[in-house]
Amino acid sequence: MATQRYSVTPHPIETLLTWVKSGEIAIPEIQRPFVWDATKVRNLLDSLYQGYPVGYLIAWRNPSVRLKDGSTSSGKRILIDGQQRVTALMAALLGQEVLTKDYETVRIGIAFHPVDERFEVSNPAIQKDASWIPDLATVFAPDASLTKLTREYTARNPEADQDRISLVLEKVRKVINNQVGIIELAEDLDIETVTEIFIRVNSAGASLSQADFAMSKIAANDTYGGNMLRKAIDYFCHLAVAPEFLPRIEKGDKAFATSEFLPKMRWLKNVNDDLYDPTYTDMLRVAFTSEFRRGKLQDLVALLSGRNFETKQYEEAVAEEAFSRLKTGVLNFINKTHFDRLTMILRSAGFVTSRLIRSQNAINFAYILYLRGRAESMPAADLERLVRRWYVMSLLRGRYSGSPETAFDFDIRQIETRGLATYTDAVIDAELPESFWNTLLPQEMETSSGSSPYFLVYQAAQAKLGDLGFLSRDITVRDLLLNRSDVHHVYPRNYLKGHGLTRGRYNQIANFVLAQSEINIGIGDRDPKSYFGELADQCNGGAKKYGGITTIEEMRANLRMSCLPVCLLGGEIPTFDDFLERRRKLMAQKIKTYFEGL
C-alpha cells in the first residue's frame, strides 16, 4: 500500500497571509524578482472576487532539526509553488512593495470601481477619477471601516446607491475568506519525489530544478545568513550581465551594500566581458562541488537542511557548517583574481569570444578544477595547463552534456581519492588515445551543426595556433573571431544546391572556413574549379581577385592553415564527398596538434 506523501488542506487567504507575515510560511523567492505584470495581479483579484479557484499552493516543510542543546526545532514551511500568487496578494491587499525583474522596489496598486465591480491597475487617470477606489489596500487596512469607506465614496459620487456600495465593498473584503488549498509535502521526501509531485500538480508552471530547491533553502534561512547569501548569488549573476546595475543595489539595498559581499563583487562594474556569464545554477554547482567535494545539488539541499549522512538525522550543527562552507565557496567564486584567471585560461586556449562557448557545465567544471588546484597550491603554470586540457577534452568528448551532476559527482570524488593531476592525466589519456584523433574524431565531425563542439574547438585551435583567415595575407582567425568574420563554404552553397544537395549536406562543418567578408562575397557562387584556378593565376602574376596573397608558397601555406588539400590549387578538384573526408582528417590532426600544445 502506497504511503501518503502529502496532505491537502484548504485555508482562508487571510490565514495564509498571516502565516507569511509571521514567518510560519517562508516565501524563498520574496527577495527575487516578481515577474508577474500588474495585469496578472488584477486578474487574480478578479478571479477571487468572482469565486473562481486560483490553484493550489505547494509547501514543503523543512525537516525538524536537533539543536545543540539536544532539543528539537520543527522546520518551517517553504512555499515552493505559489510564490508569485502569494506575493501578488501581499502587494495588492496589504500594500507591500515588490522587487521587479530590474531589482527595483515598487508598489503595485490595484484600483476598484464599486459601481461597475471592476478591478484595474491603478494609474494617474484613475487616481483623479472619483468613481474609483484607487488603491485596494485601503479597503484591507487593519483599521479600515467599511461604513466610513462607503460614506466617503458616496460623498464623492452622490449618484451611487449607498446600500449597494456597502454590499459591494463587503464582498470585496470577503475575498480573504476564500479558501486556497495548500498541498503540504512530507519533510522526509527526496527532491526527485518533490519534483515529480510539483510537475504533476502544476504541469503548466515553470519546471523546478535542484538549484531552485537549494536556493529556496538558502533564502528561507534567517539563522546563518541565508538571505544575504542568496542575494550575493543573485546580484553577482545579474551584475555579470549588467554591470550598470551596481548603483541600484547600492541605493536600493542598503543592508546588502554594507555587507561583506558587495565590496567583493564591485569589480564587476567595469567588466564588459561575456565569456562566462554564470547563472545561479552555475554558481551553486561550482561553489558546492569545489568546497564540499560532491557533485549532486540534492546533497547540498540535504546538508543545508542539517542532514547528517552518517546518522541519517537532521542536526543544527550540520546546517550551520553547510552554510559556512557554502559561503566560502561563493566568496571563492566571486573573487576577482579567481574569476579573471579562469577567463584568461579559456582565452589562452583559443576561446577568445563567447561565440565559441556552448557548454556552461564544461566551464563550470574547469572552474572547479581551478579552485581545487588553488586550494592545493599547485604551481600556476601547471594548473593553467591542466584546466585548459581538461576543458578541451570535456568538450570533445561531451563529458558534461548528458547527466552533468552524475559526471561532476564522479569526477570530484575520483579527484579526492586519486589526486588532481594524477586523475586528470589518466582520464585525458584514456579519452583521447591515438584512435580518437585518427578515426573517431573525423567520424564525429560528419555534422552540419555550426555550433558543434568539434567546429568550435577547431576555431579555437586556429586562434591559438595563430592561423590566418582563409586567403588572408595579414588578418588572423583570432582577428576575425574578435571582430567580424564570415563562415565561407569552400564548395559554395548555391553551387552545391544547384547539384541537388540538401542543407544537411552542403552545410557540413568540413565545408566551412573562416574568411573576411569581402573574400567570401568575392568568391560568391563560383564553382571550386573556377575560383581555385583564379587563385593559382593570382600567384603567377594574374589579377588579385581574392585577398592579397600573390606567391604560390604563401597560398599553399594558407590552405594548409585552413586544412584544405593543396591539390586544389593545381586544378585537382575532388568530388565533394572525397573533399569532406580528406578535410575532416586534416581538421582532426590540427585539433590534435593544438591539444598537444595546450
Q: How confident is the model over 285-301, as pLDDT tens digits?
A: 999 999 999 999 999 99
| Amino acid identity at 204 | A
pLDDT tens digits, residue range 334-357? Answer: 999 999 999 999 999 999 999 999
What residues contact residue 164 under an 8 Å CB cut-off, 6+ apart?
A: none
Assign residue 407 a region: left if phi > 0, alpha if psi is -120 to 50, beta otherwise? alpha
pLDDT tens digits, residue range 475-513? Answer: 999 999 999 878 999 999 999 999 899 989 999 999 999
pLDDT tens digits, residue range 111-126? Answer: 999 999 999 999 999 9
Helix (H) / strand (E) containing 111: strand 110-113
d(Cα 507, Cα 501) in Å, to the nearest integer?
A: 10
| 169 within 8 A of 139, measured Cβ to Cβ | yes
pLDDT tens digits, residue range 318-339? Answer: 999 999 999 999 999 999 999 9
| 438 within 8 A of 588, measured Cβ to Cβ | yes
d(Cα 103, Cα 31) in Å, to the nearest integer?
A: 9
Cell numbers placing 598? 595546450
d(Cα 59, Cα 62) in Å, to the nearest integer?
A: 9
Q: What is the reported pTM?
A: 0.86
pLDDT tens digits, residue range 37-59? Answer: 889 999 999 999 999 888 888 88
Once rounded to an integer, what is the mean pLDDT over residues 274-289? Answer: 95
Assign residue 468 a region: left if phi > 0, alpha if psi is -120 to 50, beta otherwise? beta
Boundaries of every domain in the chain = 6-201, 223-431, 442-596
Q: What's the pLDDT at 407?
A: 96
Most distant CA pair in the chain: distance in Å? 101
pLDDT tens digits, residue range 564-574? Answer: 999 999 888 99
Q: What's the pLDDT at 176?
A: 92
Instruction: Provide the mean pLDDT of the chain.
Output: 90
Does residue 516 carry a pLDDT above 90? yes
pLDDT grade, residue 31 (50/70/90)?
A: very low
Once rounded to an integer, what is the mean pLDDT over residues 405-411? Answer: 96
Q: What's the pLDDT at 574?
A: 92
Q: What's the pLDDT at 272?
A: 83
What residues contact residue 214 under an 8 Å CB cut-off, 6+ apart?
A: 284, 288, 297, 300, 301, 304
d(Cα 201, Cα 203) in Å, to the nearest integer?
A: 6
pLDDT tens digits, residue range 182-225? Answer: 988 888 777 777 777 777 766 555 566 788 888 888 988 888 99
pLDDT grade, residue 464 (50/70/90)?
A: very high
d(Cα 501, Cα 504) in Å, to the nearest integer?
A: 8
d(Cα 550, Cα 539) in Å, to the nearest integer?
A: 4
| 367 within 8 A of 342, measured Cβ to Cβ | yes
Helices (H), 278-359: 280-292, 297-304, 316-334, 336-348
Once rounded to an integer, what is the mean pLDDT over residues 537-541? Answer: 91
